[in-house]
Amino acid sequence: MPATDLEQIVNLCKRRGFVYPSAEIYGGFRSSYDYGPLGSLMLRNVKDAWVRAMVQERDDVMLIDAAILGPHAVFEASGHLANFSDPLVDCTVCKKRFREDQLDERDCPQKMKGCTFTEARAFNLMFKTHAGPVEGEGTDVFMRPETAQGMFVNFANVLQTSRRKPPFGIAQVGKSFRNEITPGNFIFRTREFEQMEMEYFVPPAESAKWYEYWCQERMDWYIQYGIPADMLRLRAHESDELSHYSAGTSDIEFKFPWGWGELEGIAQRTDFDLKRHAEFSKQKLDYFDQATNERYVPFVVEPAAGANRTMAAFLLAAYDEDVINDEPRTVLRLHPRLAPYQIAVLPLSKKDTLMPLAKEIYSKLAKRYMCEFDETQAIGRRYRRQDEIGTPFCVTVDFDSLEDGAVTIRERDTTNQERVAISDLENVLRVKIGF
Ligand code: GAP
């Protein structure tokens, strides 16, 4: 049974070192989180799984890593300066500020009597700072609110250096920043987060076809990595929900404990961004097809996902509680590609006689897999810990190993144990882990 309460995951994340509240020793920094030893490994695995599917296993998508800070001109052209805002109202009595579109009644959520609200004002969500030692005109810079603009402003560079022909994609994984009015639900909505975005440039007439294609591909990716199909849905945006650049968007939503929530949006951005950047930069941002002698501005289909939300969804879906030998246990049934560690190497005892062999096995396996070496506590408790952090396989080195040259592999999901010759260990694990 996946987790039904967000607190189950929040507690596990804190207890085991996945996610900590940021700046906790100073009382915390609201809605910011730090990823601990296990969380940083898992978050990296989520991003790697995305890059594997979107770049490595395809021959038509290239990866870039663009700057986080951008000048005024980029966000003027992209429309973010004019349009990337939430409508805010102030309560004239309690002086609190709310998003107008999230007030379902004209009643202050603080429940004070006689609350009235001001007219809505547009509040831009971009973080602004300045570059250089002197503040003033022309020094304003912005933290990017999406990674996407990096792909548009580098369209001509990538086209020229890679000699591609539409359809082709430019992908990026990295931090984005939004001054969210209502951050919350743990790592679901924060002001600093990581995106995994790809701009797929296509001939205009093929845009609808590729939109369908990417909606399906991306749904399949979440299922491949362990989210049950009945916890996912594809929901088309109503016209009043569409971003300023979109002619049609569908969200991939996950059934969070509080209801359906967006993991990813697949948008038809048309030629909006390339045309705007061409107009503002006075550069040519188009494609000349030598076969047809045709020059055109490609249309864009954009699958845009959030790494942190996706990690939360994988954790919630993988969470399970069962009973083994009359003892309750918590287990994260994570895909081996997503689990922080694929293998834990556990010497049965701390005695010096077992350590050299256990360390040797660990060193060999660690060349290929992320492994943990754990010699603390009784073996049963160590198995429980590995179950709770999602490690799919434990390798136990015992005193018989010194005699028979074999170790025990214990599987997380079934708790089955199997004796394997050390000489076969890497091959057996490779088959079991799947890579
Ligand atoms: N380039 C398109 C774009 O940015 P978006 O729907 O605003 O589209 C894409 O963002 C994804 O980024 C979302 O589906 C979500 O997973 C993630 N995301 C957006 N805002 C977020 C926030 N405040 N905290 C965490 N993730 C966020």
Find where tokens 């045709």 sit.
Answer: 294
Q: Final residue of a domain: which of 281, 299, 315?
A: 315
Same domain, 30 and 171: yes
Classify 117 in phi/psi space as left (phi over 0), alpha (psi -120 to 50) or beta.
beta
Quote the domain boundaries for residue 420. 341-433
Q: Among residues 393, 347, 405, 398, which one has the least CA distance to residue 369?
A: 393
Specify if 175 maps to a domain. Answer: yes
Number of domains in the chain: 2
Q: What is the mean pLDDT of the chain?
A: 94
Secondary structure (DSSP) of 356-398? HHHHHHHHHHHTTS-EEE---S-HHHHHHHHHHHT--EEEEE-
- Residue ranges in the chain modelled with pLDDT below 50: none
Please tell me the residue having the least CA distance from ligand 1 atom 12: 306
Specify if 96 maps to a domain. Answer: no
Same domain, 180 and 54: yes
Residue 325, CA atoms < 13 Å, CB-side half-sphere: 5
How many whole angstroms from 306 Cα to the centroid of ligand 1? 5
How far is residue 405 CA from its own chain's centroid? 42
Distances (CA, A) of 27 to 7, 23, 32: 19, 7, 12
Token readout for 412 is 């997380």
Same domain, 42 and 179: yes
Specify if 28 maps to a domain. Answer: yes
Q: Distance between CA 258 and CA 313 in Å, rounded?
A: 12
Please tell me the residue having the least CA distance from ligand 1 atom 25: 189
Same domain, 299 and 361: no
Per-residue b or e along 89-117, where b marks 16 or more CB atoms closer than 10 Å to that residue's CB = bbbeeeeeebeeeebeeeebeeeeeebeb
Same domain, 255 and 354: no
pTM, whole model, 2 decimals? 0.94
- The pLDDT of residue 77 is 97
Same domain, 353 and 304: no
Q: Tens of pLDDT along 105-145?
A: 556 766 666 778 888 888 899 999 999 888 777 789 999 99
Query: In a 3-state reduction of DSSP, which class is residue 132?
Result: coil
How many whole angstroms from 139 Cα to the centroid of ligand 1? 27
The four Cα atoms 20, 36, 356, 351 give a dihedral, to 10 degrees, of 0
Same domain, 273 and 419: no
Q: Among residues 61, 298, 297, which one has the least CA distance to residue 173?
A: 61
Cβ neighbours around 427 below 10 Å, total: 11
- The pLDDT of residue 113 is 65
- The pLDDT of residue 105 is 57
Q: Is 178 in the pocket of ligand 1 (CB under 6 A)?
A: yes
Please tell me the residue having the least CA distance from ligand 1 atom 18: 306
Same domain, 269 and 353: no
Q: Final residue of a domain: which of 315, 333, 360?
A: 315
Q: Is 180 in the pocket of ligand 1 (CB under 6 A)?
A: yes
Q: Tens of pLDDT along 349-403?
A: 988 899 999 999 999 999 999 999 999 999 999 999 999 999 999 999 999 999 9
Q: Is 199 in the pocket of ligand 1 (CB under 6 A)?
A: no
56: CATH:
3.30.930.10
Same domain, 284 and 428: no
Same domain, 377 and 237: no
Q: Distance between CA 340 and CA 40 in Å, rounded?
A: 8
- The pLDDT of residue 242 is 87
Sheet strand arrangement including 128-130: 69-71, 140-143, 128-130
